[in-house]
Amino acid sequence: MVKHFKLLFVVLGSFAYVQGQDSTKTSAPAPASPDSTKKSSSPVTITGSFDGYYRINFNDPKTLSYNSPTSFTHSSNSFELGMASIRADHSFGKVSATVDLGFGTRAEEFSYNDAGTTVAIKQLYVTYAPNTKIKFTLGTWGTHVGYEVLDAYLNRNYSMSYMFTYGPFSHTGLKADISLGGKSALMVGIANPTDYRSAPGMPKSFIAQFSTGSKDDKFKAFLNFVDGKQTDDKNLMQEDLVLTYAISGKFSLGYNGTVQTLDLKQPDNSWNSVSWWGSALYVNVDPVSWFGLTLRGEYIGNKDGWVTNSVGSNAYDMGNVFEGTLSANFRVDNLTIIPEFRLDNGKNAVFYKNSTDLTKSTGSFILAATYHF
């Protein structure tokens, strides 16, 4: 960790120097008029979204988490509200601020370390961009790790992947986004332990992302990294790769691969290392503007049993896991209706066949709707 912090300070210091050097390449600004600062302020932009769903697990168990081992869909044979979001963005010259609030069970599960409320701060941050090459962000924001995101309307599948569920949700700290020229950029930062908004006296993590792409934006690549102590008893390191390629306006591919390693302190003060990895392919087809299909195939390597079918006392080691999800997207302006079929299959019998018996696989159907403005 000390090496990571030293590296971060060197990088930030280097780019601060570059900023000073670069200022000589631009013409001097005209003298400011007395009211020029008022004119530079943009209006507040308000956006929002809503999602809800009906899910039926074909085994229809009566036990939580209803054969739903990934985030946000822990129900069966029930209509459920997901999350209502409201977001405000404002910029004033080189400074901007974002307030992003979520209401509902999806927001509560996302902010599980802020337990006891269904109103959650999804994102809350300020940014300062001294020039076009570097931007600093202070606050809390959604993670850079992974292909899928919290807001349902931004995902083509409604149910979430295992990699999303077992990866970080958010980070709170300080980061710098640095332009490397062309389509390439680097993000480096220091943050609280994963998903902690408040962490007095707790260790900090190093986060980073390298992104690049083709000139026409058809191909994009993101290499993501998190490393640091979560507590005195747990250290987490995750390396993550996201690739997207738009073959045409009607056909595109996405890929997410990740490896997470955890060092856990044992009762005898020794350390035990466990790990899991995941790989997912997203195939997107949009034959017409109002209709699309997405097939997600995901495989989780889980030899150490870290990935389970639920949480708490009823958690069972799934072994290696495969899930296949086929989602249709019917679009009517800003409304998207998503019928979805999903199959989960574990190496071990971890899904409830009935109230007492377990089976290795299970199937589910979801009918979801998302709206954004």
Q: Residue 34 domain-assigned?
A: no
The pLDDT tens digits for 58-86 are 998 887 889 999 999 999 999 999 999 99
At residue 223, what is the residue type?
L
Segments forming the whole domain that contains residue 90 = 41-372
User: Are the C-beta atoms of residues 132 and 145 closer than 8 Å to each other?
Assistant: no
Look up the CATH number of the domain holding residue 76.
2.40.160.10
Inside any domain, residue 3: no
Judge whether 316 lies within some domain.
yes
Express each pLDDT in 79-137 by its tens digit: 999 999 999 999 999 999 999 999 999 998 898 887 666 678 999 999 999 999 999 99
Rounded to two decimals, the pTM is 0.86
Answer yes or no: is 10 within a domain: no
33/36 Cα distance (integer angstroms)? 5
pLDDT (tens place) for every residue of the chain, 373 residues total: 444 434 443 334 443 333 443 433 433 344 444 444 444 678 999 999 999 999 999 998 887 889 999 999 999 999 999 999 999 999 999 999 999 999 999 998 898 887 666 678 999 999 999 999 999 999 999 999 999 999 999 999 999 999 999 999 999 999 999 999 999 999 999 999 999 999 998 999 999 999 999 999 999 999 999 999 998 899 999 999 999 999 999 999 999 999 999 999 888 888 999 999 999 999 999 999 999 999 999 999 999 999 988 755 567 789 999 999 999 999 999 999 999 999 999 999 999 888 788 999 999 999 999 999 9
Residue 332 inside a domain? The answer is yes
Block residue for tokens 């999350």: 83
Q: Cβ(244)–Cβ(219) under 8 Å?
A: yes
Q: Is residue 9 part of a domain?
A: no
Whether residue 251 is contained in a domain is answered as: yes
Rounded CA-CA distance 155/148 in Å is 6
Please check whether residue 7 lies inside any domain of the structure. Answer: no
How many domains, the chain? 1
